[in-house]
Structure 1
Amino acid sequence: MNAMPPPVLPVASPGLCTEQEVTRLVHDFYARVREEDRLGPVFEAHVHDWPEHLAQLVDFWSAMLRGTRRFKGSPMSKHMAIELDKDLFDRWLVLFRVTTAECGNPPMQELANDVAARIGDTFWKRYQMLRWPQIGLPV
């Protein structure tokens, strides 16, 4: 039986997308997040300087999509202090995919969606391990 090779994802590079596309993605996405019934209040309670937060997120996504090295931070530790549940992670990912679908750049959309899915999965697993070590991770 011949197994299908995994799809080849676009590679983070300056040619994948522009800084303007990254900035638009981040700003459009977090505008949606702030309006979402459950996510909005979580972000409003913990983000006290939106311009600074958005600039840091643009740096993060620029690193993920364009290969820049501006991002400095430790997002996992900041998320550990917040009460989260799986539904919030799932809502975050759905809104992200809706936003990337509107970006008009299919290679950027594909890579951004893959990165976001891996981030969400990794964050949720680590969040569970650190918050509730007694329950273990599902197999």
Structure 2
Amino acid sequence: MTDNPLIYPGAAHPDLREPMIAELVRTFYERARRDDVIGPVFAAAVEDWDEHIGKITDFWSGVMLRTGRYNGRPMRPHLILPLTAEHFDRWLDLFEATAREICAPGIADAFIVRARRIADSFEMARASQRGEFAAPRHSLR
């Protein structure tokens, strides 16, 4: 067995349940929509908030509980948005604060590890699309 939390089979944490994922996603987006840095990006990109929150709840359910409910390609929409390092940093700051508020410490840590790797993956893909190289910035902190 390994200590890498990303390759264990099954749930990311034994105490994590769907209602907690839904609360985390809903609370995060309530805050993100009001945020001066990332709020305008979301406002321009999201037309139906109920649909978006449902889709992202399914995404995190798949990431954290391996439910397989998410059916999509999360990278694609992010590649066309005018995102900067500041946007990714703010997204992570808000997400991490929300996870720590909503979840017990071990569960929050499991979300945060994955969120940081997702942010790195998106940033590196955006750099590659521009013919540049980007090293991971978040998963190493």
TM over 0.5: yes
Quickly say closer, same or farther: Cα 1:38–1:17, change in 2 above 3 A.
same
SS at match of 1:83: coil
Please give the residue correspondences for 1:1-139 in structure 2 after superposition, counting only pairs within 5 Å.
9=5, 11=8, 12-13=10-11, 15-130=14-129, 132-133=130-131, 135-137=132-134
C-alpha contact 1:33 1:95 (8 A) present in aligned 2: yes
Long gaps (5+) in structure 2? 137-141
Aligned partner of 2:70: which letter? Answer: F
When normalised by structure 2's length, the TM-score is 0.85
Relative contact order (C-alpha < 8 Å, sep 6+): which is higher? 1
Distance 1:52 1:106 in 2: 29
Aligned partner of 1:83: which letter? Answer: P
C-alpha contact 1:34 1:43 (8 A) present in aligned 2: yes
1:40-69 deviation digits (Å, cap 9, x = unpaired): 010000100000000000001111111211
C-alpha contact 1:9 1:110 (8 A) present in aligned 2: no
Displacement after TM superposition at 1:104 (Å): 3.4
Q: How many residues are paired up?
A: 132
Distance 1:136 1:46 in 2: 26
When normalised by structure 1's length, the TM-score is 0.86
Long gaps (5+) in structure 1? 1-5
Task: Tell me the equivalent position of 1:3.
Answer: none
User: Which stretches of structure 1, 4 residues or longer, exceed 6 Å deviation after superposition?
Assistant: none
1:86-133 deviation digits (Å, cap 9, x = unpaired): 010000000011001111322221110000000001100111111x21
Quickly say closer, same or farther: Cα 1:111–1:138, change in 2 above 3 A.
closer
C-alpha contact 2:20 2:103 (8 A) present in aligned 1: no
Task: Tell me the equivalent position of 2:139.
Answer: none
